[in-house]
């Protein structure tokens, strides 16, 4: 027997996704997502790497996305260079302790990023100081920057080459949209490397 709370929230999630499916088909948004994906594909094809970062649930997703490139998403292929800057609790706590939490991803970009690489930065709010600093440092170093955020994340527009705004202000739906977009890029990469 399903509790009323489960039924209510499951129904709300389905209703959210019905509306999101329509909003995500907006031609301008589709084109922006595809352009960002092409940037990822071009960087990997040129022998560059993908760095990914985010806080909280987005940190988990950054690890997941990096693993999809280094491993595989749906088809076997060669491993591709990708890493999550949120992966090492040792690095995050050491940098946070010594330099401040605002620098944890910025210093990761400095350590691992090179011109031509891609930084995918996820922030549902668009206001995380450590994400903004990482994007700014990445641009200074010549990385291609992709910011994934939600409807309130407009601050990111001045900090990234590609800013993809999930049409929601609800954190779970924003993160789910980000996973849909990044999975589509990973799936495309799998197919391109299998030609």
Q: Which residues of 43-53 are buried (b: 16+ CB within 10 A; e: fewer)?
A: bbeeebbbbbb
**Mean pLDDT value across residues 19-39:** 96
Question: The whole model's pTM is what?
Answer: 0.95
**Mean pLDDT value across residues 144-149:** 97
Q: What percent of the chain has pLDDT over 90?
A: 86
> For residue range 51-105, what is the model confidence (pLDDT) as tens digits?
999 999 999 999 999 999 999 898 889 999 999 999 999 999 999 999 999 999 9
What DSSP designation does 86 have? Answer: T
Q: Look at residues 106, 176, 191, 188 and name the one whose alpha carbon lies nearest to residue 140.
A: 106
Highest mean pLDDT among 1-5, 32-36, 157-161: 32-36
Spatial neighbors of 116 by CB under 8 A, at least 6 apart, are: 43, 46, 48, 142, 143, 144
Cα gap 144→120, rounded to integer Å: 9
Predicted local confidence at residue 1, as pLDDT: 66
Helix axes 104-112, 129-140, angle to 10 degrees: 20
Predicted local confidence at residue 39, as pLDDT: 98
Helix (H, G, I), strand (E, B) or coil at 74: coil
Q: Reply yes or no on whether the pLDDT at 153 is more than 90.
A: no
Tokens of 173: 């739906």
Topology of 26-192 in CATH? Rossmann fold (3.40.50)
**Cα Rg of the chain, angstroms:** 17
C-beta of residue 37 within 8 angstroms of C-beta of residue 73 = no
> For residue range 6-16, what is the model confidence (pLDDT) as tens digits?
999 999 999 98
């Amino acid at each position: 027997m399903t509790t009323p709370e489960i039924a209510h929230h499951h129904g709300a999630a389905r209703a959210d996704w019905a509306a999101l499916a329509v909003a995500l088909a907006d031609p301008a948004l589709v084109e922006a997502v595809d352009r960002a994906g092409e940037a990822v594909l071009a960087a990997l094809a040129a022998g560059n790497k993908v760095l990914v970062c985010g806080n909280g649930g987005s940190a988990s997703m950054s690890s997941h996305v990096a693993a999809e490139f280094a491993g595989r998403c749906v088809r076997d292929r060669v491993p591709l260079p990708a890493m999550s800057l949120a992966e090492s609790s040792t690095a995050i706590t050491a940098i946070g302790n010594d330099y401040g939490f605002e620098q944890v991803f910025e210093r990761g970009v400095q350590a691992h990023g090179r011109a031509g690489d891609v930084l995918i930065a996820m922030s549902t709010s668009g206001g995380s100081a450590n994400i903004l600093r990482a994007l700014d440092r990445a641009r200074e170093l010549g990385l291609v920057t992709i910011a994934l955020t939600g409807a309130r994340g407009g601050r990111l527009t001045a900090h990234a080459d590609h800013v993809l705004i999930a049409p929601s202000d609800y954190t779970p739906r924003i993160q789910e949209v980000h996973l849909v977009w990044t999975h589509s890029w990973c799936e495309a990469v799998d197919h391109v490397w299998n030609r």
